A and B are shown apart, each in its own frame.
Chain A
Amino acid sequence: MKRFSDLVWDVITSLKLTIACLLTLMVLVVACTIAQVYLGTWGAVEIFMYRWLVWLHLPGTDWSIPVLPGGALVFAVLLANLIAAQVRRLEWSWKKSGIWIAHLGLVLLITGGFVTSRAQRETQLAIEEGQTVNFVESPREMELALIDRTDPAYDDVYSIPALSLAGRDAVAIPGTPVVLRVRGYFRNCDLSPRQEGEGPSLATQGVGVTTTVVPQPPVSRDEEINRSAAFVEPLVAGQSMGTWLVSNGLGKDQAFSAGGRTYSILMRNLREYLPYAVTLKRFRHDVYQGTDIPLNFSSLVRIDNPSRGESRDVLIYMNQPLRYEGKTFYQASFGKNDTLSVLQVVQNPGWLMPYIACVLVVLGLLVQFGISFRRAMLAQVARDSAAEEAAKAAAPRKVWR
């Protein structure tokens, strides 16, 4: 009787497993593509590709059951299968060199995919002409920021991701004496002026007093943004500063004073501060004459990096991003009558891997098919000459060609 480990080894190295993975992947890709119509790219990719299992929510219950392996699982199995099969089955020979190279490329490609899906951070830098900005913002994630404005010369910013408010009673803001009591958190909501007849708001201070919050399910479509909100009660040395409503849907600055310091409190897109500043000198949006077909978008920016003693101009335009300090800045969008430029900022430590992988796979396929093609052609020539011999042997007849 076969040992269990042998059985596992047979399965993990089997070509049938490869085909099963490829077919499952096809099903996932089709499902993910169709789901995008309803969920948007990010929602669909999250459900079908980034997770280990695809869950189906049973209607009318709180239960979900796994219905398919997710993209992450399939790719992981495929990776294991690829490596194991290569180790077990394929011999070192020139005849198989193409397969070796192509499979090595695929291993690198899939690994690169994992690195990207886990480590890539996408942010945005929206900047108006003449403006200088030293931070990038997440387009989806929010943060709760406490800004110490006491010193008019500079602000001290303390922030925590908004998601960390969920399910917590109180959160201490690191670096400050402030503790926030969380009285309510909404990932997405509608805000409207409070009507007569509604009970009093949770908020006792600021615009929240006159605002109604209606919770909404979170959105994931590319063009939609969650309006997050929270009711928070700052406590300084145990003393309440009242309850405030904060949301990225509110424009008003709200501030309180405690212990001789003035703090602004707000919810906004999650920021990452850069050790350098970016100034937009000029944004251009050209169209073909007599049409509104865009011909060109470009942003001329100045990078000021005191830590490197660097100060230089860079032109960012279509298909020509700026790669700087591990981040890549792309021309993504524009607005405000062509005076606002939006740069997509991507940080992906694995960005080079697909480039190498692509070269390897294509090289491998070329080598392998080159070998097969040569063999097939030699066989065909042999067949042709055999046929000719046979034809000669038979009655001499003209062949129409």
Chain B
Amino acid sequence: MTTIGKALAWTRAHLAWVVCAFALLVAATALRTPGPVRGFDVVGFGKLPVLEGGRVKPADSIARNALLMIRGQQTFAYDPDGDGPERPRTIGADEWLLDVLFRPPVADRQPAFVINDPDVLGLMGMQQSSNRYFSFQQIGPYIEEIQKQAMAAEAKDAKQRTRFESAVLNLFQRVLLYHRLRNTVQYFDGQGLVMEVGLRGTPAGEARRAEMAQYAYFRPLLPAQGDAGWRTIAEALRGTGPVDPVLAHWARLSLGWTLQDPKNFNGALSALQVDASSLRPDLARHAEDEWLFNLAQPFYLGMVVYVLALLVLFASWLWRPEILRPVAFGFLLAGFVVHTAGLTSRIFLQGRPPVTNLYSSAVFVGWVGVLVAVILERLYRKGFGTLVAGAAGFATLLIAHHLSLDGDTMEMMRAVLDSNFWLATHVVAITVGYGGTYVAGLIAIVWIAMRLFGTADADSMKTLSRMAYGVVCFSVLFSFLGTVLGGIWADQSWGRFWGWDPKENGALLIVLWNAVILHARWGGFARDRGIMAMAVFGNVITSLSWFGVNMLGIGLHSYGFMDEAVWALLLFSLTQVAVIVAAYVRPRFWAARPTGDEPGSGRRASSPA
């Protein structure tokens, strides 16, 4: 054999790994540092450490989370002069934040607010149209009315609010966030920080400073010597003594951006960077690490690769499965590596176990699901594992993306939750249980689909059924462990092992349901089909336990109240019920009744005459 022939043969024999390595190489390009924007070192600004929400983070995180909350995206295209000579430009989160901080009049014209609710639009005399994005300038005239409506809505219990009330309150909170950002570094009329420094001590300056002190969103000034804590600009402006050198750098930064003078801006920025890395090198490094994490967007990337894996797998059902199936598995592995890298980065950045809030639970449930399914694929090698893993990874990362719209996903833990030991044991075990139950449910869906379409041999059906049983065993172990560990944590912090709290009840439901499945199988009350239908219902129970109890808005675990997701959850549950029904209809019921086909046998139905 020639060398080329040998290489080709080797590639084919290790196709999955070759594809995985190739996909990872392509994914690595996501880590390329973007260049300066119009000569401004926007990247350097994004890396500056600041304090917000009680934790140190890069300015880039502030920018991305704020834009995500306000607009639902991390970048947007903006054409400053309508259809004029300039082409629309993509504005990144950091550049947008710079405009909000230093050039509010410019930022006010950018379409940063997404408004979907027709009634809220109606409140502002606007019709619903294809354009869902509005600038602060467009919203400005209606602020008082929005505030009035929002205050009325806020007085109500979250569960009692109408869709309009929730939407108008949400808009008001976003406007408030925007206004707070505008007042963080300088007074929001855009005169610049130099002006605030100049007005120090005067009555006018004090009035402006009071406003800034009230609204400041983050603290940009590193703890000075003697550890006085992080300061806001307003605090640094106090008094009439010599100007704090760090404040002076921020003033130059402001001037540089306002006048669009890259040289001044970059000079001031490097001075601030030197300050940060000499005063607190640890914090500066942390901010830079988190900046890199933001840049890589591993969960978004992972989601894309999972979709690729799924698409290739679908293609493999139509064409050359012996090549495409390993390719799909290769993509899946690549997605899993990216997913794992993202998860590990979060653990290091936060210094916490993987699950700390609803967002990270979605990321972790997906990770567990993919892991279990990848192992199943290696054990049984039928492509089902890839299908289940791709679906689980994609769906959970999509959910995580939607949950991230609420803001910072690495927020600090409240005192009672501030226990790495219990987060690492109880929360992880419970979440692994969720992941396992979903994998069993997904396998069951595959089984039911194959039975319905009559596309599988008895051997594949048996394999799937064995896989589902094994995964249910795995889930019952982890759900039980997680639930009881939760009880022990509760005993440690509230003095009662079990309080029938909604989230506890949800976890208990998962344990009970998995136990019902196992006992039904052991007792022979349900055969393959019954077990599969029950496993699908496990999806419903897990979703209700995971998200549903949060929607009740009561109990000790009611972190992350969500109202919009109610419909999504309901819809999902209905689809699962439909799948369960599908398990009990005749295979290929749409075709004329074939002869000799026994319902539920899963054998390929003979084609109609």
Contacts and interface: CB of A to CB of B under 8 A. Distances in A.
A37 B229 contact: no
A354 B484 contact: yes
Interface in B206-265: 218-219, 229-230, 232
A319 interface: yes
Interface stretch (A60-68, A128-136, A196-204, A283-291): A283-291
Contact of B519 (A15, A112, A294, A328): A15
Contacts of B381: 401
A19 B521 CA distance: 11
A44 B485 CA distance: 24
A95 to B, nearest CB: 13
B498 A116 contact: yes
Nearest to B55: A288
Interface in A373-388: 373, 376-377, 380
A293 interface: yes
A150 interface: no
Tell which of B488, B489, B492, B525 has the most Cβ of chain A within 10 Å: B492
B51 A355 contact: no
Interface of chain B: mostly helix, strand, loop or mixed: helix
B379 interface: yes
Interface stretch (B292-300, B364-372, B416-424): B416-424
B512 A373 contact: no
Interface in B38-84: 51-55
A15 B523 CA distance: 6
Interface of chain A: mostly helix, strand, loop or mixed: helix
B494 A41 contact: no
Interface residues of B, number: 73
A295 interface: yes
Interface string A135-152: 000000000000000000
Nearest to A353: B497
Interface residues of A, number: 65
Contact of B495 (A30, A321, A377): A321
A349 to B, nearest CB: 13
A297 interface: yes
A376 B470 contact: yes
Interface stretch (B90-98, B144-152, B306-314, B475-483): B475-483
A287 B506 contact: no
A33 B506 contact: yes
The 5 A-B pairs of least Cβ separation, nearest first, read: A288-B54, A346-B495, A15-B523, A400-B322, A358-B484
Interface of A: 15-16, 18-19, 22-23, 25-26, 29-30, 32-34, 36-37, 41, 44-45, 49, 109, 112-113, 116, 120, 122, 287-291, 293-297, 318-321, 328, 330, 332, 344-346, 348, 351, 354-355, 357-358, 361-362, 365-366, 369, 372-373, 376-377, 380, 398-401
5 contacts: A49-B500, A291-B54, A319-B422, A369-B474, A401-B381
Interface of B: 12-13, 15-16, 51-55, 159, 218-219, 229-230, 232, 322-323, 325-326, 379-381, 411-412, 414-416, 418-419, 422, 466, 470, 473-474, 476-477, 480-481, 484-485, 487-489, 491-502, 505-506, 508-509, 512-513, 515-516, 519-520, 522-523, 525, 549, 552-555
Given A122-B495, A376-B470, A398-B13, 6 more contacts: A16-B525, A293-B414, A354-B491, A369-B477, A373-B473, A400-B322
